Amino acid sequence: MASNDYEIKKLAMIGCGSMGGGMAQLFAENGVHVSLSDPNEEMMDSVIASAREAGVGNKLSKHKDNASLCESLDKPKVFVWSLPHGSIGDTVLSGLMPYLEKGDIIIDCGNEHWENTERRQGKCVTKGIRYVGCGVSGGYQAARRGPSICPGADDETLSLVLPTLRKVAAKDPQGKPCVGRVGTGGAGHYCKMIHNGIEHGMMSAIAEAWSIMKTGLGMSLAEMADVFDKWNAEGELKGTFLIWISRDICRTKDPKTGEMVLDSVEDKVVQDYTGEEGTGIWSNTEAVDKHVPAPTLTTAHYLRIASGDRHQRATIQKTFGVGSGKPNDEHTSVFPPQKLEGISDRAAFLEDLRMAVYTACLAAYCQGMIIIDKADKAYHFNVNYAELLQVWRAGCIIQADYISNNLLQPIYSSRSAKAEETNPLYESDVAKDLKRGFSHLRKVVAKGVEGDFVVPALSATLEYLKYQTSTELPTSFYEAQLDYFGKHMYDKKGDDEAGKPETGKHHYEWKPA
């Protein structure tokens, strides 16, 4: 089958939740007949009803078993999955296997772990079945209107699916689809995993800034919405998805109650506990495994974990002598944040805050890209970095026009495929912006600490910039301790010309055994 002649006219959507249902209608609007499959028949009925309202109801059908589902498709059969991560995908694949033939295509659009993707690719390749690990970003709204799509597979398979994926993908301001040849094997799901790690770092920094504006500066939601609006309209945060939705969140009122919706939202992020979300955990595990310091990502994740168990926090609070210990009783803190003192020029401080958030977002991006670079070498993903950044150009949660397009795209577009290492921190333009943001970040963190604000991502970014730019760390004392009790060896100052992470050549007998 010639890939340039291939057009997907029919596909099966397996999994019809908010993401799968949205994508099903999006494919239908682009001329593809979609056969729905989901154990919840009401879910399929809801998708079809919504499609009818959009005028494409005749493009969808529902199926209760794999036999009728597969009979409804052309050859080769094409399946798009929108499933929870883990064993469900294995169960679905096993059920489909008796009906699959050489050349059939599976596009797994769930937030799956990349190792599961590669294991299934290995199982499918023996039957000549094509399996694409395809990260999808942008939330359920983007799934319906055009998401960022991050596919990984062999080149021939990508040539078959990309024409259709380009039709439904988000488009950047120039009209270019936000989908591309990201890499081979599990590259698509790996890069989507790191995307989500970056996302968590950015979200934490913005939430920390909101808290400072709300309590530290005593600003109203309307005032904060105007600030986010301004940040999104100009400067380094222009066109940053998480900034513009922050504006909307601060302005949204429930028409039924007349109250601002944000005022009713509890401080619990529970997706890591409930199993809905694994990517944040995996991205941090990968950072540690690849020896990449990624504190903006990691501390943001610890905040998520702490927030999720409000019962635990309330119990600890009572132990510290504050509150009743009942999670829903009151909203307070042992160390409550205070109104910031000494802010004579609020506009100047808000500029410090804007630059602090930008610096943390840029640091999160850098940390994520370094993890991907290390994994690319270790797992032979053959990542196309210019294509990956195009995927993140629009339709995704970490869309940040200045960071991805102005700073990083020129670096990675000129990168040689044989480059030993690409580290954004080695690039003068990135270094210049991080250095420029440092003083602003330091002011904000200092005020945050002084006022007892929760600022993990912002403060971790500050420390990151300090230790990643220093060759005089306190770890010489740390190394001496290791040598004292463990005979772990050390390098003498001035002797280590290369500075590589290798075992030192010296030991001192600090205390005879």
Question: Which residues make Cβ contacts (< 8 Å) with residue 425, sequence separation at least 6?
Answer: 366, 370, 431, 434, 468
- Tell me the C-alpha distance between 15 and 79, whole Å: 11
DSSP state at residue 294: -
At 69, list the tokens.
């589902």
CA pair distance 361, 433, nearest whole angstrom: 12
Q: Kindly state the DSSP code that residue 31 receives in the 8-state scheme.
A: T
Q: What are phi and psi of 316, to 5 degrees?
A: -65, -40
Tokens at 96, concatenated:
């489909």
Considering the candidates 192, 236, 374, 447, report the single residue annotated as catalytic: 192
Single-letter amino acid code for the residue at 406:
N
Is residue 192 part of the annotated active site? The answer reads yes
Cα distances (angstroms) measured from residue 427 to each of 1, 178, 376, 408, 431: 44, 25, 19, 9, 6
| CA pair distance 22, 286, nearest whole angstrom | 31
CA 118, 23, 389, 283 dihedral sign is: negative
Residue of 112, 118, 199, 286 marked catalytic: 199
Dmax (CA) of the chain? 84
Strand partners, 37: 14, 63
Give the separation between CA 363 and CA 300, rounded to whole angstroms.
13
And the tokens for 2? Answer: 């010639």
199 in active site: yes
Give the C-alpha separation, 335 to 332, whole Å. 9
Phi, psi of 133 (to 5 degrees): -85, 115
- Are 337 and 215 contacting, i.e. CB atoms less than 8 angstroms apart? yes
Residue 82 in tokens: 């929108």
Helix axes of 310-319 and 295-308: crossing angle, nearest 10 degrees? 80
Kindly state the tokens that stand for 341: 């003192």
User: What is the residue type of 250?
Assistant: C
d(CA 363, CA 201): 9
Report CA Rg, the chain: 25
Q: How far apart are CA 177 and CA 171, in angstroms?
A: 4
**Is the distance from CB of 408 to CB of 389 less than 8 angstroms?**
yes
Our measurement of the distance from residue 466's CA atom to the centroid of its chain's CA atoms, rounded to an integer in Å, reads 25
- Encoded amino acid at 255, one letter: P
**Residues labelled catalytic:** 192, 199
